[in-house]
């Protein structure tokens, strides 16, 4: 797939099982599929079934915010799928998933193996972390041959030693490198609720001109916190954030992440896609095929 | 600073993956007088655990949806963390094994909780367990009935087809509708015993309300025990008349048969 396909903004869906079974008619409702490397890795026959649409590779294994690198085999496999999918970029979380175990760990018999959390976690947000992330991104971009764009994680707790807000942290990375962004507006909204800031005001402090892709998904509330929820629909307030962002920039891709349930009600999704198309259309930038 | 970042991230990773490591994180936070909440890390760990159980949307959609709708997800998965984290160390659990692990926990967690949200969940879970067991009924053979038969029994009794005895805090006809209207769910204060019964693979599922004794005897038969064992287990409480009355009811309704 040529990168030029995304020269005009596209609307896509995050991979979920239902996408391998949908009708041709529904395939026409969206432009691309965003697929996690991890799904391609664990389901060997998945890739050929997804090639009916252009693909963007998403990833949660690079541990960009960590100090423990992924193993060579993981990197080789990601590189293989980078080429096999023809992805124009790799979207990866501004997080870590791997961490070395402390020496004083008395509970694990195999302390030479790093922790693999199995889920991305926001890193310490300070200057040292900025430098570490930039180094990691550059190394991976050289190896994979495509840009690695970073996705803002939802914040659920303050990480010790952090002395930057998330917008300062992201700004620092962008100021000190050419890194581009995957702006997850739902994550942004969740962080704003958990850390009591105004999402509309604060988002304008982000380097929005670096945003290449946007994510949209649901939110849930439980145990006095707000949580990411790919099983629920995007709330109105997140669409309002999208509208605000689109006043400033035109992303190359907008992805709906509804991938935690095995089935999906198509009619409401189609309405949401149409609504976003109208927002883009109002900017007069939508691709007409 | 870099070593410090790595150390902190390691402490957090440890606390997320093993609740036994939370004290190390708490000790660090106390030492540094840091305002980070270890409880928030625990909740995040429960959230991750929940996301790792998204396969339940497929097998137990009503129960999993209600866990969300009733905002009990983080609380429930915090309590499930010890079992879950222990199971992670025994690598290679497949999805059915993970499902069983969670269901065993959930049944026991909900069993003694009387507040309405828990009664709703308990009922939904029992209902879906019944549906799942009966929908999986493809073979007429009943291995559990063949397990052992006491020599003293001259006549044996077996269940016709497959049954599931559910304990519900709601009318059976209401439960399926909960999917669409979680805010209007009505429950009962007391448990009712309901038998979901499929006599043959593919046959309609019949639903019968049972009294305690009938439910008990059917549970005994289902687990491969005999009538005499059931009478023996009940001590002097079970008179022959009661037993005969119940057997008559079960045979007349073709729920069990003599052979």
**Which positions in chain B touch A221 (Cβ < 8 Å)?**
71
> Closest by alpha carbon to A58, among A66, A50, A49?
A50
- Nearest CA distance, A227 vs chain B (angstrom): 8
Do the Cβ atoms of B24 and A260 come within 8 Å? Answer: no
- pLDDT for residue B1 is more than 80: no
Do the Cβ atoms of A158 and B47 come within 8 Å? Answer: no
Do the Cβ atoms of A124 and B16 come within 8 Å? Answer: no
A33 beta partners: A13, A55
User: Residue B118 and residue B106: Cα distance in Å, rounded?
Assistant: 10
pLDDT score, position A30:
97
Do the Cβ atoms of B44 and A261 come within 8 Å? Answer: no
- Nearest CA distance, A230 vs chain B (angstrom): 10
> Closest by alpha carbon to A147, among A232, A218, A210?
A210
pLDDT score, position A113:
82
**Which positions in chain A touch B51 (Cβ < 8 Å)?**
119, 260
- Mean pLDDT of the region A207-235: 98
**Which positions in chain B touch A102 (Cβ < 8 Å)?**
7, 10-11, 14, 24
User: Residue B35 and residue A161: Cα distance in Å, rounded?
Assistant: 10
Beta strands A90-93 and A55-59 are parallel
CA distances from B212 to B14, B167, B190, B192, B215 (A): 47, 11, 13, 9, 5
> Closest by alpha carbon to A5, among A24, A27, A31, A28?
A31
CB B133 within 8 A of CB B164: yes
| From B11, B40, B71, residue closest to A221, measured CB to CB | B71
- pLDDT for residue B187 is more than 70: yes
Do the Cβ atoms of A227 and B74 come within 8 Å? Answer: yes
Distance between terminal CA atoms of chain A? 16
pLDDT score, position A14:
98
Q: Give the tokens for residue B92.
A: 């290679």
Interface contacts A/B by beta carbons within 8 Å: 125
Task: Say what the ipTM of the complex is.
Answer: 0.94
Q: Which residues of A have a CB under 8 Å from any CB of B?
A: 65-68, 96, 98-102, 104-105, 107-108, 115, 117-119, 121, 123-124, 126-129, 132, 156-161, 220-223, 225, 227, 229, 231-232, 260-262
Beta carbons within 8 Å of B9's beta carbon, 6+ residues apart: A65, A66, A67, A96, A99, A121, A123, A124, A159
Q: What are phi and psi of A259, to 5 degrees?
A: -130, 25
Q: What is the pLDDT of residues A30-86, one digit of tens each?
A: 999 999 999 999 998 999 999 999 999 999 999 999 999 999 999 999 999 999 999
Q: Which residue has the tokens 């991979």?
A: A15
- Nearest CA distance, B176 vs chain A (angstrom): 18
At A120, which helix (H) or strand (E)?
strand A115-121
User: Residue A44 and residue A6: Cα distance in Å, rounded?
Assistant: 27
- Mean pLDDT of the region A11-25: 93
- Mean pLDDT of the region B54-71: 95
- Mean pLDDT of the region A103-124: 75
- pLDDT for residue B66 is more than 60: yes
pLDDT score, position A156:
98
| From A102, A124, A222, residue closest to B73, measured CB to CB | A222
Q: Which residues of B have a CB under 8 Å from any CB of A?
A: 1-2, 4-14, 16-18, 20-21, 24, 28-29, 32, 34-37, 40-41, 43-44, 46-48, 51-52, 54, 57-58, 68, 71-75
Q: What is the pLDDT of residues A167-196, one digit of tens each?
A: 999 999 999 999 999 999 999 999 999 999
Q: What is the pLDDT of residues B117-161, one digit of tens each?
A: 999 999 999 999 999 999 888 765 544 544 444 544 456 788 889
- Nearest CA distance, B200 vs chain A (angstrom): 30
Q: What is the pTM of this model?
A: 0.91
């Amino acid at each position: 797939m040529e990168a030029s396909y995304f020269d005009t903004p596209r609307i896509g869906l995050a991979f979920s099982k239902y996408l391998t079974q949908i009708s041709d008619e529904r395939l026409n409702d969206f432009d691309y599929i965003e697929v996690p490397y991890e799904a391609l890795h664990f389901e060997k026959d998945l890739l050929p079934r997804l090639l009916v649409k252009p693909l963007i590779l998403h990833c949660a294994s690079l541990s960009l915010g960590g100090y423990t690198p992924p193993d060579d085999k993981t990197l080789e496999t990601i590189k293989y799928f980078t080429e096999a999918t023809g992805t124009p970029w790799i979207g990866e979380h501004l997080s870590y998933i791997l961490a070395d175990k402390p020496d004083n760990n008395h509970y694990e018999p195999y302390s030479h193996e790093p922790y693999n959390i199995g889920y991305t976690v926001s890193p310490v947000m300070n200057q040292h972390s900025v430098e570490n992330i930039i180094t990691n991104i550059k190394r991976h971009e050289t190896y994979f041959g495509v840009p690695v764009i970073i996705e803002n994680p939802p914040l659920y707790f303050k990480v010790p030693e952090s002395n930057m807000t998330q917008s300062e942290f992201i700004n620092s990375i962008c100021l000190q490198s050419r890194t581009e962004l995957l702006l997850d507006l739902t994550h942004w909204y969740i962080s704003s609720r958990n850390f009591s800031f105004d999402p509309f005001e604060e988002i304008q402090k982000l380097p929005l001109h670096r945003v290449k892709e946007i994510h949209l998904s649901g939110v849930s509330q439980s145990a006095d916190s707000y949580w990411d929820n790919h099983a629920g629909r995007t709330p109105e307030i997140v669409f309002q954030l999208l509208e605000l962002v689109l006043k400033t920039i035109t992303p190359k891709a907008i992805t709906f992440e509804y991938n935690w349930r095995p089935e999906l009600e198509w009619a409401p999704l189609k309405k949401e896609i149409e609504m976003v198309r109208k927002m883009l259309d109002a900017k007069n930038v939508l691709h007409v095929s | 600073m870099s070593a410090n970042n790595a150390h902190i991230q390691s402490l957090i990773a440890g606390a997320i993956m093993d609740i036994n490591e939370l004290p190390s994180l708490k000790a660090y936070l106390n030492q540094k007088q840091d305002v980070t909440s270890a409880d928030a890390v625990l909740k995040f760990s429960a959230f991750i655990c929940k996301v790792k159980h998204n396969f339940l949307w497929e097998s137990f959609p009503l129960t999993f949806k209600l866990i969300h709708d009733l905002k009990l997800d983080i609380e429930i998965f915090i309590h499930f963390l010890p079992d879950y984290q222990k199971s992670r160390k025994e690598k290679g659990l497949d999805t059915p094994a993970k499902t069983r692990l969670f269901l065993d926990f959930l049944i026991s967690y909900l069993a003694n909780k009387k507040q309405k949200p828990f009664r709703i969940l308990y009922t939904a879970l029992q209902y879906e367990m019944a549906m799942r067991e009966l929908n999986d009924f493809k073979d007429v053979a009943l291995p559990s009935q063949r397990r052992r038969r006491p020599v003293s029994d001259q006549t044996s009794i077996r269940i016709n087809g497959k049954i599931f005895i559910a304990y519900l805090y709601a009318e059976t006809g209401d439960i399926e509708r909960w999917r669409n209207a979680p805010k209007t769910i009505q429950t009962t204060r007391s448990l009712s015993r309901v038998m979901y019964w499929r006599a043959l693979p593919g046959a309609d599922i019949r639903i019968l309300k049972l009294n305690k004794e009938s439910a008990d005897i059917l549970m005994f038969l289902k687990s491969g025990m005999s009538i005499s064992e059931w009478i023996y287990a009940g001590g002097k409480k079970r008179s022959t008349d009661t037993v005969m009355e119940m057997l008559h009811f079960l045979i007349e309704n073709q729920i069990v048969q003599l052979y």
